[in-house]
Chains A and B, each alone.
Chain A
Amino acid sequence: MTSAIGTKAASATGTDAIETLAIGKRFGPVVALDGVDLTVPRGTVLCLLGHNGAGKSTLVDVLTTLARPTSGTARVAGFDVLAEPHKVRRRIGVTGQFAALDDRMTPRATLVLLARLHGLGRRAAHARADELLERFGLAEVAARALRACSGGTRRRLDLAAGLTGRPEVVVLDEPTAGLDPVSRLALWDVVRGLARDGAAVLLTTQDLAEADRLADTIAVLRRGRVVASGTPGELKARVGSRSVTVRPADPAAAEQALRAGGITPALDPARGTLTVPAASSRQVSDVLRALDAAGIDPGDLTLSEPGLDEVYLALATPDSAGSARDDSVRGAA
């Protein structure tokens, strides 16, 4: 699309917009972040992938100066989050997991207020609001009280609100959770546009497809640690690009048959399914042949793209190819 969203262009090249070094955060005995190292260069998107409770939101809070890390350092837009939080706040835009908006206000009033607080004069604030309303397809509902607006509208306004100050660094905490597919595509477009305009974007998600689509770098967070990071291509190469799942009448017998054929399936006893990584169609036929040799009907057969579970399975378990510790290195620099 266009570059109309307008982020401050990267002035100092070469410096990373987000840089964390061994960030740790404890809540009493609970370790929420356990030595996280990340870098996000300007003009790139880093997707932070992880389940609920992996530490994504805590990391977002640390980077947006809402929470103080208990150890390590983090620099955002060139400033230390602990030493100079005010300078950090001036350069970031945040969209939270739960829309931080006032239900009684209209989208236009919300954006004008925020623009005014970012230091724009009355006229400039209105112009900025109109620009954002237009860009995010909110013009039609601009004068409607937010409580009468749909969830998708709220989400888009939340994102627009985070951009009123033309941030250099944009932090989006699960921005597409609960969005319909069309709004989701539109939002992906916006995120890519932000990076193209020179902003550094950190986006958290539980959705591997989303990370695959958006990210220059993916970091997988698990129990407060980065267990793997790399480009989507690198990670997919290690996860296996897809998997085949069968649901035979007797999963245990099928498992034995597959192992006999040199294939190691993951058994889901609850659903009675067996899943095998299958990067190529040959591997799919290997599975079918092994079952056929034992006279087992595969039952339902599905091919699926890897999800977060597969990533965890392949990258996060200690006995998998790359051990977690070796991979907790920086993202692509």
Chain B
Amino acid sequence: MTAVVGRGGGRAGRSRGGGASVATQMSVLTVHTVRTLLADRRLLLITLLEPLPMLLVFGQALSGLARVPGFPRGVAYIDYLVPALMVTTALQSGLQSATRLTDDLRGGLVSRFRAMPLWLGSVLVAQSATGLVRGVLRLATLVGLAWAVFGYRCRGGPLALLLAVTVALAVAWALGWAFMALACWFRRAETLQAAAGLAMFPLMFASNAFLPVAALPPWLRVVAQVNPLTHGVAAVRALTLGRPALPAVAATFALALLVTAVAAPIAIRGVRRTA
């Protein structure tokens, strides 16, 4: 898949021998990073099962939430919940990309790459692409488990489910870049996790993920309405419930694009910086 793109496509001044083109760098590093992801079976298993506790806690213990005022009539809580978990799972997938990146930045091969004829942004692109692979696997596990064990059904049909997964992946991609930008500047997994934790809980709970916005206290309603996650959840939920989804889907893609456009340059500047 790579070799053909490789040789000729170098940037001006880089086509001479010694140093792969940027396209080759990206594909070689992506293949390498995906392989690393798949090679660590234990970590992969934990990663895949991570959404399970949320599914249990909300799907079973807190399923009474379906009786709050403003909850859509005739919708099972599990059908309401799974779309939200798809988006929060995507959020965590983004964080995982960034955590892996801090590992790589702390030593290992990336420190060698700095003295090689490479565009270091390739490392980030590879990590981001690997994040998508991880995201697909996690979303498949989540939906599969919800389907088989908890009686989840996608009313919108298979095509809507596919589109819903795509929307969730767009969220994962964008937030992956945002968290990677943080990772490039913090450089330490602990700091990154702490900062992400700080952002993650308000994002997840001050939103429409687990309750309709109408059921939130008034001040939280305001927060939930500006929370980008609310748009993502609204889009995925509308799709899977078979409701009109176009505005929410468009808004989510636009937001994802905006976040990526801001975060990616910051991340790329940050990774170039020597520790």
A residues within 8 Å of B by Cβ? Answer: 64-67, 86, 89-92, 94, 96, 98, 100-105, 110, 113-114, 116-119, 121-122, 161, 165-166
Contact = CB atoms under 8 A, between A and B. Distances in A.
B115 A66 contact: yes
Contacts of B18: 90-91, 118-119, 165-166
B111 interface: yes
A32 to B, nearest CB: 14
Contact of B3 (A86, A114, A122): A122
Contacts of B6: 119, 121
Nearest to B122: A117
A112 B7 CA distance: 17
Contact of A67 (B21, B107, B274): B274
Contact of A94 (B7, B17, B21, B112): B112
A240 B111 CA distance: 41
B117 A89 contact: yes
B127 to A, nearest CB: 14
B272 to A, nearest CB: 11
A94 B24 contact: no
Given A100-B109, A102-B109, A122-B3, A117 B36 contact: no
12 contacts: A90-B16, A90-B18, A98-B107, A105-B36, A113-B32, A114-B112, A116-B24, A117-B19, A118-B19, A119-B6, A119-B19, A119-B21
Interface in B1-53: 2-3, 6-7, 13-14, 16-21, 24-25, 28-29, 32, 36, 39-40
Contacts of A91: 18
B116 A89 contact: yes
Main secondary structure of the interface of A (DSSP, over half): loop
Nearest to A162: B112
Given A96-B111, A121-B3, A104 B116 contact: no
B112 A104 contact: no
Contacts of B113: 117
B118 interface: yes
Contacts of B274: 66-67
A66 B120 CA distance: 13
Chain B CB within 10 A, most for which of A65, A100, A121: A100
A221 to B, nearest CB: 20
Contact of B25 (A90, A117, A161, A165): A117
